[in-house]
Structure 1
């Protein structure tokens, strides 16, 4: 287990499943926390959703549960609940993704857990916040994307409603759970007080979407609809070049001036001279640039944009990231030995000068650490299957 990260010495009791909660606790583990993943006898469903080197070790599961210890407990049994209570007594964080009624019925709502360990940070990962009428609704990434407006802005861009091709709601909510949990730990460090934290996918994604799309709707009276027009301009898409595609954003006035001076001097008119003017006709600007981009190869454009200090990039596939020069130069990938063979995992994206994080270890097979963890608590192995 990793012990050099900023969370070294923190123990997390993790009752989350799928992606939102496990992504949060994977980051905590990479930052040095001892994460004990408590699973039901059948295991987290994500163990079985994609390819993997062995049953119960799908690629998605392996990536978001690395470095944790797996303990199987049947929380419907008295012994299973007693073992969980013993785990909670020595923990710093308790985090779950069960519905409020279900976790409370088991006897592990916040009031119950705080009575066992008053200084604990208790993090709820929900679909919808408990103070609203939707608190008991089930939620998955697709439904949250729909409800927060992502397919609607995709439709404004492409003409057809689509989900974003990544589980963005799960991951953004997981990152939010990381900062919420660590902020509560910081408060406890200063005051000794534990507290309850709630992170809801819908509210998280509503906040995420409205960063730019709140726009004119924020004001009273409204100055326009809730939409940031640059991101939904129909011609906002990768540019086709002579031999492929490229992404480039000729955005501020310096970028624009250097681009037209080098490529299209005829565009040096007041109509497009300022960011404000270009923003008012952003789709026209995108269209003009698109026509010009077909005149050179991708490599020729990349060379020019580097020279002009204009942000630009080739279009990569996820597969190409494994051979990316930048990622390999910074040591982003780590090869972790496992019982099934080496696994090349995406690593820690942050850097600390004194307390660096790192992949905490391989992903546990279901229940692999039950005996050892219960022994640490002075308990015999409980009936879990």
Structure 2
């Protein structure tokens, strides 16, 4: 077979096989970046202090005390533990980074000068260094402080309430972690083409502000007199609301287009009723802006239909008409009965995590050629020290 001919990948080989990533990080964003890369086949080595990083004990916990949070974000990685207070030990880690094939460093700290982009690239010009910051000016920041500074908690929650509501989902950590991965892979592509290394920086606050700008929220504040207010479970700017069925099941319904609107009315038998309202009140319900403006009127009629319809009937009718809807489910429901709901697709597979036991864990959400790499356990503290750190004289 010539070198130009494609070859079939091995069972554990992913798109990023051969890419070595050294991760000096903790908590959500940078470990998520490393996880996304590991799930696509990269060899990700997490560096921790002796005894393990602080996030190894973060909740939720298994009954044994093992962090399910840490195990979830670090599956499929390798781990070394070193005394980061020791300059000699930091030098060992720097040697690990600089030796061997092309390497990427992912970090959320500039605490140690040996691991800075400048120091490492001076020794290896093709190095890619990816750094997460709280704020672009170097100031400290985490997801929830960034939330507070960027407006979102003040438009979250029930209408008429003044107190800010922080979202339980660390959205900026997640978005920043994926931005880190995008920047890293762009730099890796450039390195393959040019041989040059790159320094990539992403700040949590920048991610949040950029998102607010990209969604138009900041432009609205600059060029209009509109003041965004809380809208509860209503979807801002379009029609979407939660309803309760006759037997007490709560569902969410969303209408984005005129076609969606027609399907919803057909499913609920309300086509004629809304045509009559449109004629009587001079409202064109086919437009998104009009549906949002008159959402209380729409919800009054839809609410009556749901209140009179058992869930099983509503589910069958809405599915048959391909309405955008879903029943609210708790984490408990999703994980109940051995995770029966999680077994319906191919996203989850069983992994036997030490300290946790066998459970369903996700593969990558990215499907490559119809498949995904299966999950592997997260590493123990210093599990790969002997394999990755050469023994020093006298050890």
- Tell me which interval the TM-score lies in, with the shorter structure as reference length: 0.7 to 0.9
Is the counterpart of residue 168 in structure 1 residue 171 in structure 2?
A: yes
Give distance in 2, aligned partners of 1:311 and 1:381.
65
Of residues 50, 58, 62, the one that matches 1:52 is: 62
The CA distance in 2 between the partners of 1:85 and 1:112, in whole Å, is: 10
* 1:292-307 correspondence runs (5 A): 292-307=305-320
Q: Which residue of 2 aligns with 1:263?
A: 269
Distance in 2 between residues matched to 1:276 and 1:354, nearest whole Å: 39
Gaps (5+ residues) in structure 2? 1-9
What secondary structure is seen at the aligned counterpart in 1 of 2:36? helix
TM-score scaled by length of structure 1: 0.86
Map 1:55-204 to 2 at 5 A. Answer: 57-90=66-99, 91-98=102-109, 100=110, 102-103=111-112, 106-129=113-136, 132=137, 135-137=138-140, 139-155=141-157, 157=159, 159=161, 160-204=163-207
User: Structure 2: how far apart are the matches of 1:233 and 1:283?
Assistant: 13
Contact 2:28 2:174 (8 Å CA) reproduced: yes
Shift of 1:174: 1.2
Matching residue of 1:380: 392
Residues in 2 aligned to 1:241 and 1:354: alpha-carbon distance in whole angstroms = 38
SS in 2 for 1:122: strand
Aligned alpha-carbon RMSD (Å): 2.9
Q: Contact 1:18 / 1:44 at 8 angstroms: preserved in 2?
A: no
**Stretch deviating more after TM superposition (14-23 or 74-83):** 74-83
Deviation by residue 1:81-135 (Cα, 9 ceiling, x = unmatched): 221121111352101111x3x23xx322211011122111100011111xx3xx2
In the alignment, the residues of structure 2 paired with residue 187 and residue 226 of structure 1 have an alpha-carbon distance, to the nearest angstrom, of 41
**Quick check: 148-157 or 244-253, which moved more?**
148-157
For the residues of structure 1 that align with 2:256 and 2:302, how far apart are their CA atoms?
12
Q: Which gives a bigger RCO, structure 1 or 2 (Cα 8 Å, sep 6+)?
A: 1
Normalised to the residue count of structure 2, the TM-score between the two structures is 0.83
Q: Distance in 1 between matches of 2:12 and 2:394?
A: 29
Question: Please, which of 309, 312, 323 is the counterpart of residue 325 of structure 2?
Answer: 312
- Provide the aligned length of Structure 1 versus Structure 2: 368
Indicate conservation of the 8 Å contact 1:215/1:226, yes or no: no
Instruction: Report the alpha carbon displacement of residue 163 of structure 1 after superposing the two structures with TM.
Output: 1.3
Q: Which runs of 5+ in 1 are unaligned?
A: none
